[in-house]
Amino acid sequence: MAELTRRGFLIGAGAAGAALALTATAGRAFAAKGEDEDNLDWANQVTEEISCDILVIGGGFSGTAAAVQAGENGDKVLLVEGQSALGGNGTGVECTNAYGLHPNSGETTLGEMVRYEADAQSYTVNQMFIRDMISHAAENVQWLIDNGVQYEAIEDLDLAYLEMYKEGRYRAAFSFDYVYKGGAAGIGYFPFMKKKLAEYGVNLRLNTRARDLVLDENGNVAGAYATDTYGDTIKINAKAVIIGTGGFGEDADRMGKLGIDLNDVRIIGTPGHYGDGVTMMIKAGGIEHGAPAFGCTNIIGSAGPWGPIWDKLCWGGPSLWVDIHGERFSDEACSTYTHNFELQHVPVRLAGGTCWTIMDQTILETMLEGDEEAAQLWDEMIANGDDAYRADSLEELADAMEGVDKELFLSQVEQYNACVAAGVDSDYGKDAQYLMPISTPPFYCGLIRGALEGLYSGGVKTDRCFRVKKPGRDQAFENLFAIGADGGMLYNNMYGIDINGSMSCHGVNSARTAANTAHEFIANGR
Ligand SMILES: Cc1cc2nc3c(=O)[nH]c(=O)nc-3n(C[C@H](O)[C@H](O)[C@H](O)COP(=O)(O)OP(=O)(O)OC[C@H]3O[C@@H](n4cnc5c(N)ncnc54)[C@H](O)[C@@H]3O)c2cc1C
């Protein structure tokens, strides 16, 4: 059986760590932006000038695919990557949806899949974009295979994981995904795509960070400025620019404007997602998407996502959640109803980014379900004060929860226990099967924060060809494209992980569509 990444954590293989370690050793070429960098006059600092047909900014999952497609089309391509290795968050991708190619997809119609995704997310998704993505999935994955990308053979996979996706704590009913060799794109995708870049003569510059777009007198895109680790500023002239910088998960300013404090979030993935692409495109006149969808799940203390503490104690259910003031704010069982680990964190994010999960001894034992490893880890976390505390009384517990208003907290527990006694959650309607009193000492609390797997959708608005939209009806740049996480037209506010492997499916689809549209634009001499 293949070692799987995110799933691997659940079944104990843990291959994602290995995949991400590949890039961790590559080091960090650039830190986050300095204070005034957005306003620097790059034109006055140019020390080198180069020209190409297509400039691809960002050598992650989608940028690499765009560069390979553009190279295959015969265009002269320059690919710049800010870090010292290709990959970005794409390194950790374990699977890509391959509807139409995967043998299990035979019975399912395209319409059923689109309907499922739309319905599961209350029709807030862009149905046409979802349809475009899924209808090209087979062709795109076949193209990757033709370019040497390697997947685990379907017959070698333990198909139990498909069942886990369908019936377990995931809601992904349409698991028609191909799993990368070794369980991660860092192993099955990038080494082979890198070979293709060389074969097609793509000029690859690592440690080179794009800073600003060059616009001509008509406001069209004419290239970009970039800096490298030698301190050079490079002016890159290009007939078309494709941007795939992976979103703005590490941009404290933009995240702050969404009410997300990066101190409340642990970033899971590679460094380098400072929002450069999104900032450049908005500055050039593109429209911000405005309703970004994140891959974010709950964690407590230093215990990572997909480990035993996550599996047992982060999903809510019979525990009581209170915000940093001590007030209850949500039905704690909502993510258990939906089988959606992305939905775990939404109520917490809406409540300010962190919350306390409260358990008594009986609730803790119920949630641990006899998992000895999780129980031992929990004890260790308490012993280390790792955002986890135990107390003999609720008053003492309140003292351990920094910032919590003790009176408010105690009154909330009283109110909650009254709901439990009545068998009806009159405040948030939690299902009666999850209503258990907070009454048997000792009592426990853990501080829940978010583990951010990056922005999944939501940089700037694009049209169907991934051209960056401008204000006005049907207005878009002809030669500026946003792909992958930077092109944000699929999901709004919430990524439901309903169609498994959809983000990389979108990554390769947006990349190829953009490269082919740019090729036509150049071929038509515009
Ligand atoms: C742990 C993990 C597991 C995941 N698993 C899956 C999965 O199984 N299936 C799935 O479909 N999706 C998965 N995802 C989501 C997927 O990784 C992303 O959707 C995908 O990587 C987005 O591709 P991208 O090209 O937009 O961004 P990235 O792959 O992150 O690439 C962006 C690149 O741009 C570079 N960059 C940034 N700024 C600049 C600049 N100014 N100049 C030059 N370069 C720059 C970055 O260094 C990076 O290399 C996972 C994500 C994580 C973190």
pLDDT of residue 439: 98
pLDDT of residue 161: 60
Is any ligand 1 atom within 6 A of the Cβ of residue 186?
A: no
Q: What is the pLDDT of residues 66-106, one digit of tens each?
A: 999 999 999 999 999 999 999 999 999 999 999 999 988 88
pLDDT of residue 107: 84
Is any ligand 1 atom within 6 A of the Cβ of residue 487?
A: no
CA of 31 to the centre of ligand 1 (A): 17
pTM over cut 0.85 = yes
Contacts of 266 (CB under 8 A, 6+ apart): 299, 304, 449, 450, 451, 452
- Which atom of ligand 1 lies at the shortest distance from residue 245's CA? 34
pLDDT of residue 338: 74
Ligand 1 mutation pick, 57, 503, 505, 513, max ligand atoms within 8 A of CB: 503
Is any ligand 1 atom within 6 A of the Cβ of residue 238?
A: no
Is any ligand 1 atom within 6 A of the Cβ of residue 507?
A: yes
CATH topology for the 13-292+455-523 domain: FAD/NAD(P)-binding domain (3.50.50)
CA of 250 to the centre of ligand 1 (A): 12
Strands 476-482 and 388-391: unpaired
pLDDT of residue 24: 35
CA of 511 to the centre of ligand 1 (A): 13
Q: DSSP character for 156? A: G
- Which atom of ligand 1 lies at the shortest distance from residue 95's CA? 8
**CATH no., domain 296-452:** 3.90.700.10
Where along the chain do its domains lie? 13-292+455-523, 296-452
Q: For residue 261, what are the CA distances in angstroms to 31, 132, 293, 494?
A: 18, 34, 16, 18
Is any ligand 1 atom within 6 A of the Cβ of residue 183?
A: no
Is any ligand 1 atom within 6 A of the Cβ of residue 503?
A: yes
CA of 494 to the centre of ligand 1 (A): 18
Give the closest residue (by CA) to ligand 1 atom 35: 58
pLDDT of residue 187: 97
Ligand 1 mutation pick, 245, 268, 274, 342, max ligand atoms within 8 A of CB: 245
- The tens place of each residue's pLDDT in the chain, 526 residues long, gives 333 344 443 332 223 333 343 333 333 355 666 545 666 789 999 999 999 999 999 999 999 999 999 999 999 999 999 999 999 999 999 999 999 999 888 889 999 999 988 988 889 999 999 999 999 999 999 999 999 999 998 877 766 566 655 555 566 667 788 999 999 999 999 999 999 999 999 999 999 999 999 999 988 999 999 999 998 999 999 999 999 999 999 999 999 998 899 999 999 999 999 999 999 999 999 999 999 998 899 999 999 888 999 989 998 999 999 999 999 999 999 888 877 777 889 999 999 999 999 999 999 999 999 999 999 999 999 999 999 999 999 999 999 999 999 999 999 999 999 999 999 999 999 999 999 999 999 999 999 999 998 888 889 999 999 999 999 999 999 999 999 999 978 999 888 777 889 999 999 999 999 999 999 999 998 6
Q: Is 64 exposed, middle or buried (0-12, 13-18, 19+ CB in 10 A)?
A: buried
116/123 Cα distance (integer angstroms) = 10
3-state secondary structure (DSSP) of residue 366: helix
Q: What is the pLDDT of residues 498-517, one digit of tens each?
A: 788 999 999 999 999 999 99
81/96 Cα distance (integer angstroms) = 23
CA of 227 to the centre of ligand 1 (A): 21
pLDDT of residue 36: 56
Is any ligand 1 atom within 6 A of the Cβ of residue 309?
A: no
pLDDT of residue 22: 35
Q: Which residues of 195-205 are buried (b: 16+ CB within 10 A; e: fewer)?
A: ebbeebebebb
